[in-house]
Amino acid sequence: MRIRELIKTATGPIYVISACTFVLFVLSFLIIKSLSEESAGQLQYWTMLFGSAGVALLIFLLIASCYSLYRQYVRNEIGSRLTVKLVGIFLFLTVIPFSLIYFFSIQFLNQGVDSWFDVRVEQAVQDARLLGQTSLEGIKDEITVDVETYAKNLPETSDASQLLRTLREIRELGDFTEVALYQDDGTVVAFSKKESSQMLPDTPGDEVFTALRISQTYTSLEPITKNTQQFRVVVPIVAQALERNFYGLQAIKLLPLRYATLASSVETALNQYDQILFARGPLKFTLILTLTLISLASLLFSILTAVYLSKRLVAPISNLAAGTRKIAAGDYGTSLPVSSNDELGILTDSFNDMSQKIEEAQQVASLSQKETEQQKGYLEAVLTNLSSGVFVFNREGYLEICNSAAVDILGISTLDSLGKNDLELSQQYTQLKQFFNLVGEGIRSAAPEWQDESTVLGAHGRQMLIVRGTLLHTASPNQQNNDQTSINHVVVFDDVTGLIQAQRDAAWGEVARRLAHEIKNPLTPIQLSAERIRIKLGDHVSGESRETLDRSTRTIVQQVEAMKEMVDAFSSYAQPVRAQLQPLDLNQLIKDLLELHATSLQSIELNIELQDDVPQIKANASALRQVLNNLIINACHALEGQNEPRLRICTGLASKIAGRYVDVIIEDSGCGIPTDIRESLFDPYVSSKAKGSGLGLAIVKRIVEEHSGSVWARDGEQGGTAMHIRLPINAMETYRGNRNQNTLHSDSS
């Protein structure tokens, strides 16, 4: 892994670019060196080859980079557009100056090279060439004249020794290095050489003999070595001697050293100048090609560096953009690497701080949300398990919150109730009209706190509710101004029916107990005393005194009995109805009672309307029997003396109210209820009859209320009185706190 990391680090862009820079400089140095040294041919070749390969590599890298950048741009990757802009700017800043420099460099190069070849210098060289050639021609002409003279004076002889002597004399006279006589076929006839060590003459070429055959003199200047030159003069001889017709006299003479040195120098200079002159074009081409190679390499290197620097410069910005997108997508806590100490590094560092703080804030918010949810769940649990009903109305008066206790107490539907105001709810639940009107009045009063009572016919019968309302100021999250708060109305109501009933029972029971104790106790001694007086004094008095005594003691005993009955009756009235609700067939109970009162009802026209759909109700049978019995008896008493006594008894299911109720109506055609006692008809000791304890209707009312029902009287359609009893089908145990709110949810029968 370390090796891989090292390789990856070593091949990083910065190192590659540094290596390319170094190679570029070395390449330039080598090219210049190869151009300046004559012996650097192979160096120049390999330098140009590697340079070209390097340029090709740079072009490949540039194309790859551009293609990669293009793909990033097409895919709209973060940072690609900015990179392209920066690369474009760098290109603009690089290519134009480069182009200008390259163009002017080419111009300067051409002009510079051309300036080396001054016309005057070229003319001087040509003149020197001509001068040298002319002077050498002059020397050659002189030698030619001498050789021609010698050729003319060459005696015609067939003696070889004489010929050799003649040639030697010619050689010595003319200071030739060699004199030779040739036949036209190239055969050497005789020769004389200055160097005796050389055995053979310097045979001329075929062109010499060609000239001889046409009788032309052949002359030439021949370089022997670098600094040695010789004249070769071959003169044709036409002689008939020696049995041949054509001959050639060749004379070879070295150019004097002084002239040879000068000629060699001139020759070298001429060659060099001719070479340079000829190489002007190739020189320009080479220089331009080298300039192009180096410029191209430099330009490509600059562009690659521009691409790399652009990417490097944009990388932090791209990271920031990517990090911003992550945060926007919800990936909080994104941390970016800080790779520099400049402004971008500061920006990246700030971004990391911001991201961390956002993450912390998000965690705090999440915790707060959890706490809020926990609090909400706690509140919901409290509201759910609260025995009191809770309504929360918003500032517009619409119901927002309704707990389960409220649903149970009032027998309403949460879904049908939420979002409605008190008026709508009172219209929807007519049996609860009084309650919702009360609530509406409390809300509209805008009092910080209010309290009232309300009696409703709930799901389980008549209920007495204590209603309390208060204003709740809460901060609304939807408000732009955090100072504004919303005002909600919280209405809490409790069903105190059982409590009141228990209080009433307790009060009546206490009264009854006290009555029983305080009143009933002295009655017995009074009665006993009166009887004792009668017994003791009865034998001692007679006549009128005895009658008075008997009448008085009898009166005392009767009144004591009456008082006892009154106390017993009151005790019975005050006695709470014990629970033990059992299913009761109400129709059957009525039939049984009618049968019981058959005798007293013989003269009465009965109208019995007992609905078959009346279900069994949960009630105390003996208590209800007492109720119905009292009402029937009261009806019979009211029909006494009537011409057409009619009695109507009907049962049926109560409609238009929530919950399930059974109505029992006992209507007579009597004289009706006197107006003076109409309001207190069901109070104890209120009666329109001369006789009676006055507790009958009070007991009826009490028993019915113990069954969570209600009883009221109204004028009958037949002119008499109609006693209306409404009993719940599933009355709850209301005796002395047996009421259990939880059973409201399970009581669904």
Partner 1 sequence: MPSAIRYYRLYTAFFLCCLPLYSAQATTLADQLQINLSNEVQIAVNNGVKLVFDCNYSEHQSLWLTSRHEKRHHHQFELQRHSLSNRYVVRRDDLETQRIFRSMSEASAYISTQAILLYEFYHKQGDTDSVRITLNKYDLPGPMRLGSFLTGSWSVDSGWAPK
Interface ranges with partner 1 (CB under 8 A): 34-38, 40-42, 44-45, 48, 129, 132-133, 136, 205, 207, 220-225, 229, 263, 266-267, 270-275, 277-280, 282-283, 285-287, 289-290
Closer of 266 and 399 to partner 1 (Cβ): 266
Q: How far is C-alpha 492 from the chain's CA centre?
A: 44
Closer of 47 and 488 to partner 1 (Cβ): 47
Q: Which residues pair with 399 in a beta bridge?
A: 393
- Coil/strand/helix, residue 136: helix
Give the pair of three-digit tokens for residue 398: 């619409």
Contact 444, 450 (CB under 8 A): no
Q: Which residues pair with 722 in a beta bridge?
A: 667, 714
Q: Which residues pair with 458 in a beta bridge?
A: 461
Residue type, 723: M
CB of 288 to partner 1, least distance (A): 10
Q: Which is nearest to 397 in space by CA: 420, 418, 425, 416?
A: 420
Query: For the chain, how many residues are written?
Result: 749
Closer of 226 and 513 to partner 1 (Cβ): 226
CB of 256 to partner 1, least distance (A): 15
Closer of 65 and 290 to partner 1 (Cβ): 290
CA dist., res. 156 & res. 484, Å (int):
152
CB of 104 to partner 1, least distance (A): 22
CB of 133 to partner 1, least distance (A): 6
CB of 341 to partner 1, least distance (A): 49
CA dist., res. 221 & res. 134, Å (int):
12
Closer of 130 and 446 to partner 1 (Cβ): 130
CB of 220 to partner 1, least distance (A): 7
Closer of 268 and 372 to partner 1 (Cβ): 268
Residue type, 164: L
- Coil/strand/helix, residue 260: helix
CB of 285 to partner 1, least distance (A): 6
CB of 118 to partner 1, least distance (A): 18
CB of 286 to partner 1, least distance (A): 4
Closer of 204 and 728 to partner 1 (Cβ): 204
- The DSSP call for residue 403 is -
CB of 50 to partner 1, least distance (A): 13
Give the pair of three-digit tokens for residue 677: 């006692």
Give the pair of three-digit tokens for residue 740: 């259990």
Give the pair of three-digit tokens for residue 45: 């070749």
Closer of 225 and 643 to partner 1 (Cβ): 225
- The DSSP call for residue 254 is E
CB of 250 to partner 1, least distance (A): 15
Closer of 48 and 624 to partner 1 (Cβ): 48
Closer of 194 and 660 to partner 1 (Cβ): 194
298 sits in which H/E element: helix 280-328
Q: Quickly list DSSP for 323-366.
A: HHHHHHTT-TT-------SSHHHHHHHHHHHHHHHHHHHHHHHH
CB of 183 to partner 1, least distance (A): 22
CB of 94 to partner 1, least distance (A): 27
Burial class of 207 by CB neighbour count within 10 A (0 to 12, 13 to 18, 19+): exposed
Closer of 225 and 341 to partner 1 (Cβ): 225
Strands 605-610 and 646-653: parallel
> 3-state SS string over 579-620?
CCCEEECHHHHHHHHHHHCCCCCCCCEEEEEECCCCCCEEEC
Contact 273, 118 (CB under 8 A): no
Give the pair of three-digit tokens for residue 616: 């069994």
Residue 288 vs residues 21, 56, 291, 306, 732: alpha-carbon distances, Å = 21, 18, 5, 26, 115
Give the pair of three-digit tokens for residue 92: 């603009």
Closer of 137 and 531 to partner 1 (Cβ): 137
CA dist., res. 690 & res. 693, Å (int):
9
Sheet holding 389-393, edge to edge: 399-402, 389-393, 485-495, 461-475, 449-458
Closer of 267 and 568 to partner 1 (Cβ): 267
- In 412-487, where does DSSP find H-type helix? 414-417, 422-428, 433-445
CB of 238 to partner 1, least distance (A): 25
CB of 211 to partner 1, least distance (A): 11
Q: State residue 463 phi and psi, 5-degree precision.
A: -135, 145
Closer of 286 and 476 to partner 1 (Cβ): 286
Give the pair of three-digit tokens for residue 422: 């008190």
CB of 57 to partner 1, least distance (A): 20
Tell the residue number behind the tokens 């520099």, with chain if given.
340
CA dist., res. 605 & res. 588, Å (int):
20
CA dist., res. 701 & res. 680, Å (int):
12
CB of 269 to partner 1, least distance (A): 10
556 sits in which H/E element: helix 544-574
Closer of 44 and 741 to partner 1 (Cβ): 44
Closer of 16 and 221 to partner 1 (Cβ): 221
Closer of 267 and 592 to partner 1 (Cβ): 267
- Coil/strand/helix, residue 490: strand
